[in-house]
A and B are shown apart, each in its own frame.
Chain A
Amino acid sequence: MRKELKIFDKPENIKRLLRIFYASLFALLIADFFIHKHAEFTWEADPWFFAAFGFVSCVVVIFTAKLLRVFTKRDEKYYD
């Protein structure tokens, strides 16, 4: 069998990846001030609207899913 990849097993690579990730987030926030906006809705033109919307939406999705699990979770054999 071919050699295994272990690129993501090395903590320094994860750190590097995270650094690139944070840098790109920062760049996206800065880029907001240098682009021409053609908004359908006024809030679309607000700086960092999409960043905030994306972050909050994902948090809401994940916490709602956790809450949903309280009511819907059943054993794997539930229907058997």
Chain B
Amino acid sequence: MISYLLNMGFPPGLIFIIGALFIPLLKGKIKSAFMLLLPLVAFVILVSVPDGSHWTFRLLNYDLVLGQVDRLSRVFGYIFILISFIAIIFALKAEDDLQHVAGFIYAGSALGVTFAGDLFSLYIFWEIMAVASTFLILARRTVASQAAAFRYILVHIVGGLFLLAGIILYIHNSGSLTFGFIGLSSMGSWLIFIGIAVNAAIPPLHPWLKDAYPEATATGAVFLSAFTTKSAVYVMARTFPGTELLIWLGAFMTIIPVFYAEIENDIRRVLGYSLVNQVGFMMCGVGIGTQLAINGTVSHAFCHILYKALLFMAAGSVLHVTGKIKCTQIGGLYKTMPLTCLFCLIGAASISAFPLFSGFVSKSMIISAAGHHHLVAVWLMLQFASAGVIAHAGIKVPYFTFFGHDSGIRAKEPPLNMLIAMGMAAFLCVFLGVYPQPLYDILPYPVEYVPYTGAHVVGQLQLLMFGILAFYLLLRSGYYPAEIRAINLDTDWFYRKGARHFFNLTDKGFNGINRFCDKVLARNLSASLGRFSKNAPARLTLLFIIPACFLTGKKENERAVLKKNVYAAFETASTSLGISAAAAMLFIVMLVLIK
């Protein structure tokens, strides 16, 4: 196996994962050079490997494929390697091996997912991805990040278990381990679908993303923004293309987060909601499932990874140099951070799909695909969400960070490596927007789509510019939601608060019943019954003897002695024959009366 790997070269994912293990052993410039070399090696291998199944092993009568290379997996492989390279440059000066190792293993396992040819390998890399990414959140080393990481891994464990259960059922039913089209049909396929949906952050399963990403390190969030959701988009595109449910889930997914993003105070949380919104477009494209829609999905994932990483890098730079990232704390930073501001504006223009920026050449393919299918409601929803993007990611993020009220903070630009990383991503955003052909050439299907038509450019510009006008007028007139220090409830309430309420409710409910039964039945009633059964014969006997004493004129002290003697007689089972006979008689009378 090892000789085979050496002959063929390692799969790109394993290059990252194995390479990561050597990082703590290296220092200084050698470490930096080694980290930059790994994506280059992975890229050369991916370019040189022809389409087909590679790195195949046999395990327990199943063929495991670590290198299923076709046009779909290849394009995701390219962008994952490219963004790793950029993110590593961004994180190069971070003196924290935990982040570097976690980042590489995370990116490597995303590549492993991308090139997995069987469901078993897919699952293994899927789980490594969840664990490695958790360390990028933990690496912030704050109380909030520890808690967020804990919630993050719990959600992903649940998602992973859904996936695992689905895979087992699917293999049991179909007998096939092949990672290909599945389609929603059986119980197993539904479980797989839910497992992927967790990673794709499809509402209502989305809040882990906006919860965890803002708590990650400044550099870790850049990695996080790229891999988990987009690898889920890839897996969804391979297993569930043309699933109608996804069209609607995707369309709602584009809309719901824009409202939250508008009122969110933490800029990286705004970007988190924006990420969910953008993946919604991709889910919709997968659901439509036509060649144009899949091309749109893949190209949008490609462009999105670049501009979302750029936005997270800009936000991360602000966090890095100021230690702050909430709207209420920052503002006016363009004065001393003009380059970061410029890069953020390029990212904002790209995500808003301004002509000449990358989002324009990719998102429009998905919306056009909805139009070609005459999905009127979906088309309107996607256009509405596009206008929503300009309001939150397009304007809010750069405006409240770099303009808006002057926070008085006069921070310097971030270190050169961070600026270079942002510069590369920004260049690619503009390059792909101006000249999308290289991207179109590597898409899964031949591209006939022409983004730059007069109608499309003018229509999109009208949508965006008049959206900006609305934003400006509402901001000036004071109707725009004010920046306030607050959080907003989302569906994570159910496991962050709801679970606690549920616990308290069940504690008070079931344990209350338990306590009641213990008090009333176990303690009081049984004790009473015990006392009653112990004293009943004596009491019953006295019931007849005491009136007789009154009749015979016995004095009070004589009655007391008699009482004591009767109790003692019953306790020692030494009752006189007369009393026993009287008690037996009484018992018979009672039986007759009861009958």
Contacts and interface: CB of A to CB of B under 8 A. Distances in A.
A65 B263 contact: yes
Contact of B459 (A44, A55, A58, A61): A44
Contacts of A39: 455
A40 B336 contact: no
A62 to B, nearest CB: 5
A58 B384 CA distance: 8
B24 interface: no
Interface string A37-50: 11111001000111
Max chain A C-beta neighbours (<10 A), residue from B410, B464, B465, B468 = B465
Interface residues of A, number: 51
A37 B455 contact: yes
B462 interface: yes
Interface in B440-481: 453-455, 458-472, 474, 479-481
Interface in A52-80: 52-66, 68-69, 71-76, 78-79
Contacts of B462: 28-29, 32, 48, 50-51, 54
Given A64-B259, A68-B488, A54 B458 contact: no
A35 B454 CA distance: 6
Interface stretch (B157-165, B301-309, B371-379, B532-540): B371-379
Contact of B260 (A21, A58, A66, A68): A68
A16 interface: no
Contact of B470 (A34, A49, A55): A55
Contacts of B419: none
A56 B472 CA distance: 13
B91 to A, nearest CB: 25
B485 interface: yes
Contacts of B368: 40
A79 B469 CA distance: 37
A55 to B, nearest CB: 4
Contacts of B472: 21
Contact of A36 (B371, B392, B455): B455
Max chain A C-beta neighbours (<10 A), residue from B263, B471, B496 = B263
B338 interface: yes
Interface residues of B, number: 56
A16 B77 CA distance: 46
Given A32-B462, A55-B466, A79-B497, A1 B384 contact: no
B391 interface: yes
A73 B486 CA distance: 6
A34 B496 CA distance: 55
A74 to B, nearest CB: 5
A29 B458 CA distance: 9
Nearest to B496: A79
A4 interface: yes
A16 to B, nearest CB: 15
B388 interface: yes
Given A62-B470, A72-B489, A24 B465 contact: yes
A57 B385 CA distance: 8
A31 to B, nearest CB: 5
B450 to A, nearest CB: 10
Given A1-B412, A25-B466, A65 B481 contact: yes
Interface in B225-269: 258-260, 262-263
Contact of A53 (B336, B383, B453, B471): B383
10 contacts: A21-B468, A25-B465, A38-B453, A40-B368, A55-B469, A58-B470, A61-B258, A69-B481, A73-B263, A79-B487
Given A55-B467, A71-B489, 20 more contacts: A5-B336, A25-B469, A28-B465, A31-B454, A32-B462, A37-B455, A41-B379, A48-B462, A50-B460, A53-B387, A54-B466, A58-B467, A58-B471, A61-B259, A61-B262, A61-B391, A65-B258, A68-B488, A73-B486, A78-B487
Which 3 pairs of residues, A with B, have the shortest CB-CB distance? A57-B387, A40-B371, A65-B262
